[in-house]
Chains A and B, each alone.
Chain A
Amino acid sequence: MPANSDESLIARIAQGDRLAMKVLYGRHHVRVYRFALRLTRDESVAEDLISEVFLDVWRQAGRFEGRSAVSTWLLAITRFKALSVLRRRKDAELDDETAAAIEDTSDDPEVVLAKQDTGQVLRQCIAALSPEHREVIDLVYYHEKSVEEVAAITRIPENTVKTRMFYARKKLAEFLKRAGVERGWP
């Protein structure tokens, strides 16, 4: 196990090594933040979440068994905490603004239309996916997680991961078509 690997850092963190904690934080906090932000769509909530996630790591490092990559563990904690926040928010104050943030905003791509380049339209369509589809797209394409890792993070069977990814892509293609971008699939 290389001395600077994530797993080594976790072993040191379990011993109370603050420097190792700083290194791990430096290595992963941006991706954790972006994942949290994509789930919650709220910068201040996402910032609070990264502190909570890494504090959990500090407290639970001794229990990390290495069955998944450290980055997968971090994203799983982040997801769990983000969903808790969303549930609390939904219970407490489901106003129009919040609902808009959670619900599918699939009308957006039509507004984008042909003035913009395909890449920009594609980005708009990715942003317009439902939270569930956006999440799997982010985990696979941006966080580079395997089928098994996505299953571990989202707590769904591996076959469901594949199916969800397929339908996320299919929805993306539909949005693109409505925005005037025909890709010939599906």
Chain B
Amino acid sequence: MTAMTMGIGAMEPEDVEGLLPWHATGTLNARDARRVEDALSRDPQLARQYALIQDEIAETIHVNESLGAPSAQAMQKLFAAIEAEPRRAPRRSSNPIARMAEFLLGLSPRTLAYSAAVGALALLLQAGVIGAIMMQHVPGYQAASYQGAGGNGVRALVRFQPDTRLADITQFLETYGGSIIAGPKAGMFRIQLGDKAMSKDDSEALVRKLRDDKIVGFAELSQ
């Protein structure tokens, strides 16, 4: 059966026939697409109408494409309006998974890759430390004391600006004799700066200096 089903007093599209336009644009779900495919293979008139629809699609695209594009003024106007908008504090989602997604999306691809590398390194370090502790707890041998891997340097929690690149982070770490010892967690890296203990005043002065760095969004002394 093709064309249309005659309803009571009105002409209504037959179910499969009504789906043909969407089948032609590939926007049907799998079940409906199969139904249409089956009907097309059985009904030559339906197949002929399907060919007409493809002509209609081609000419509709032609009509729309011939409309051209807006001028650059539209974009200038938009971004002038955006600039005039009040700066807003980043919205924080209440969903922890969404928050993590927001953070990851804010990272540049390089930063993201770097974070993954740092994470892998942290896992290796952790494995090493656990292994060392296990060795020290072998029966018959008791370590006199255990020093954390971090040494005596100043530790800080640092969040980099979202568009920070790997090269900038590398340069930052070299400048301050720093190394990442943990993170990112909630967007923060725990960083050790140097390997010598510093007075509280000197430590705070160093962190203030970090805050002035253009790639740093947040810096605070850490344990």
Contacts and interface: CB of A to CB of B under 8 A. Distances in A.
A183 interface: yes
Contact of A138 (B28, B60, B90, B163): B60
A150 to B, nearest CB: 9
A35 to B, nearest CB: 8
A68 interface: no
A3 B28 contact: no
A50 B70 contact: yes
Interface residues on B, range: 35 or more
A169 B56 contact: yes
Contact of A14 (B12, B56, B57, B91): B91
A105 interface: no
A126 B70 contact: no
Interface in A163-186: 163, 165-166, 169, 172, 183-186
B70 A185 contact: no
A34 B71 contact: no
B116 interface: no
A81 interface: no
A54 B22 contact: no
Interface in A32-48: 33-34, 37-38, 46-48
Given A59-B85, A141-B25, A166-B18, A15 B74 contact: no
A135 to B, nearest CB: 12
B214 interface: no
A168 to B, nearest CB: 9
A183 B52 CA distance: 8
Interface in B38-90: 48-49, 52-53, 55-64, 67, 69-71, 73-75, 77-79, 81-82, 85, 87-88, 90
B71 to A, nearest CB: 7
Interface string A15-27: 1111101100100
A16 B21 contact: no
A83 interface: no
Contacts of B69: 29-30, 33
The bracket for how many chain A residues form the interface is 35 or more
B153 interface: no
Contact of B71 (A3, A47, A140, A147): A47
Contact of A51 (B13, B78, B87): B78
A30 B70 contact: yes
Given A12-B105, A127-B63, 18 more contacts: A15-B106, A16-B87, A16-B88, A21-B79, A25-B75, A29-B74, A30-B70, A50-B74, A50-B78, A51-B74, A51-B78, A119-B59, A141-B61, A162-B13, A166-B13, A183-B52, A185-B49, A186-B4
30 contacts: A12-B105, A15-B106, A16-B88, A17-B162, A21-B79, A29-B69, A29-B75, A33-B70, A37-B67, A38-B64, A38-B67, A47-B73, A48-B74, A51-B78, A51-B81, A55-B81, A58-B85, A59-B85, A119-B59, A127-B63, A140-B25, A141-B25, A142-B64, A144-B26, A144-B27, A147-B27, A162-B18, A169-B53, A185-B3, A186-B4
Interface of B: 3-4, 12-13, 17-19, 21-22, 25-28, 48-49, 52-53, 55-64, 67, 69-71, 73-75, 77-79, 81-82, 85, 87-88, 90-91, 101-102, 105-106, 109, 112, 162-163
